[in-house]
Amino acid sequence: MKFNAVVAGVGMTRFGKHMDRGLKSIGAEAVRAAIADAGMQNSDIEAAFVGNAAAGLVTGQECIRGQVILRSAGIGKIPVINVENACASGSTALNQACAYVSAGLYDVVLAVGAEKLYHEDKRKSFAAFSGAVDVEALEEIMNRLKSAAKDSGAEKAAGGAGENRSMFMDIYASAARNHMKRYGTTVQQFAKVSAKNSYHGSLNPRAQFREQLTVEDVLAAPMIAEPLTRPMCSPIGDGAAAVVVVSERKAAQLGLTSPVRIISSVLHSGWDHGPDEGGSLELCASEAYREAGVGPNDLSVVELHDASAPAEITGYESLGLCGKGEGGVLIDSGATWLGGRVPVNTSGGLLRKGHPVGATGVAQIVELTEQLQGRSGDRQVQGAKIALAQNGGGSIGSDAAAMCVTILVR
């Protein structure tokens, strides 16, 4: 489907550890900010899609998460569609909001992503991630990860998954070891991703972590699951983001002076495919590029799902920013830093901005909209015109369970 939605306003909270705030408070803050940024009133919103992945497990809020958040912001009556799609919950909510506007069903639709992951009982937080795989095959998955870790001599990765860390760090660690073995990618290159994103995050007042790290700092940090040290792993977090999308007709009525258009948003799930066959990310990227009429070389800035540092390296390759196996070389070249050919994760990415799961996909759109409008301050990409967001989540077999790629233009 050809998308033709216009971003009228964006808003988000600072991501972080908000033990004194609930999902309603966090979500309402982002909603109010987006509506104010659009110059609208609550009464202008005609429908809403609200992404959240883990409230049922962490807070106990089920069934009506979006309605609860929106009512706390003073919004009722309208259709509210709750979206749960693992780490891609937020981008899926945005995808659907844009589809409704592009199809002409509504002129003004709100997309929200909100998550509350910090809890006094850390096991509840980690359980939210363990539920993002086929739970009937969970024991088999855990045994396979432990076996692979032992075979490669990864002592830390051989135990503790899902207990003192998200099991997804073990999935990423296993993929990282395979990438190193096959392509010669180094631990230093993974560390360079974390150092880069820490620099970008240090410039972002809404980032969860703002301390700037060197490659040496990253390598010296505690080991989580070989080869991943702590700064190579995205943290859990609390936060929310919201975007008001409107039709072209409504954009003209509003007289938007610096419109950002979402011209492609492609959503797929993973499937059983061969080890050397492109997966859900490659499929989403190729369709998004085709629908938008652009290619990787046209991109000005990218927000990529760096749930781990190796995920950014492989993301470069899957998005066509470089060839297969060349992600390590790309980070070494400086091309993905601010000032480089195609800056990636100017927000600090999931590694430093944080990863409140359901909020991440919408937060990426907030960052890219502000970049395209020249509102990003010290981390501004000069002359940014075309942006791409990639957000995926869950794991089935050897692929993500949900994947979304969105392209924005100014």
pLDDT at residue 71 in the model:
98
Q: Rounded CA gap, 312 and 347, in Å?
A: 14
Q: Quick check: 152 pLDDT over 90?
A: no
Q: Residue 253 class from Cβ within 10 Å (0-12 exposed, 13-18 middle, 19+ buried)?
A: exposed
For residue 309, give both structure tokens. 């540092």
Of the residues 18, 87, 119, 200, only one is catalytic, namely 87
Distances (CA, A) of 383 to 41, 270, 299, 380, 394: 31, 35, 11, 9, 35
Please enumerate in sequence order all residues whose Cβ is within 8 A of that of 262, keeping only pairs 6 or more positions apart, or say none: 3, 5, 6, 7, 94, 98, 245, 365, 406, 407, 408
* 95 phi, psi to nearest 5 deg: -55, -45
Residue 355 annotated in active site: yes
pLDDT at residue 164 in the model:
66
For residue 271, give both structure tokens. 């499937």
More confident residue, 56 or 123: 56
Q: Rounded CA gap, 217 and 220, in Å?
A: 5
* 256 phi, psi to nearest 5 deg: -60, 125
Angle at 294 between CA 87 and CA 288, to 5 degrees: 30
DSSP 282: H
Q: Rounded CA gap, 57 and 61, in Å?
A: 8
Q: Strand 386-396 to strand 301-303: parallel, antiparallel, or no bridges (unpaired)?
A: parallel
Angle at 224 between CA 222 and CA 228, to 5 degrees: 95
pLDDT at residue 317 in the model:
98
pLDDT at residue 162 in the model:
60
Q: Which residue from 358, 383, 209 is spatially nearest to 301, judged by alpha carbons?
A: 383
Q: Quick check: 55 pLDDT over 80?
A: yes
Q: Give the CATH superfamily of 5-120+236-409.
A: Thiolase/Chalcone synthase (3.40.47.10)
Q: Rounded CA gap, 391 and 370, in Å?
A: 18
Task: Kindly state the percentage of the chain with pLDDT values over 90.
Answer: 86
Of the residues 119, 179, 200, 355, only one is catalytic, namely 355
Q: Rounded CA gap, 352 and 354, in Å?
A: 5
Question: How confident is the prediction for the chain on average, in pLDDT?
Answer: 95
Looking up tokens 């998308």 gives: 3
CB 158 within 8 A of CB 226: no
Q: Rounded CA gap, 303 and 146, in Å?
A: 31
| pTM attached to this predicted model | 0.96
Task: Kindly state the percentage of the chain with pLDDT values over 70.
Answer: 98
| Tens of pLDDT, residues 273-317 | 988 899 999 999 999 999 999 999 999 999 999 999 999 999 999
Residue 87 annotated in active site: yes
pLDDT at residue 36 in the model:
98
Q: Which residue from 14, 20, 15, 9 is spatially nearest to 45, judged by alpha carbons?
A: 9
Q: Quick check: 353 pLDDT over 90?
A: yes
Q: Rounded CA gap, 22 and 59, in Å?
A: 9
Q: Rounded CA gap, 340 and 381, in Å?
A: 9
Q: Rounded CA gap, 390 and 55, in Å?
A: 23
Q: Rounded CA gap, 93 and 267, in Å?
A: 11
CATH 3.40.47.10 domain position(s) in the chain: 5-120+236-409
Q: Quick check: 146 pLDDT over 90?
A: no
Looking up tokens 């971003």 gives: 7
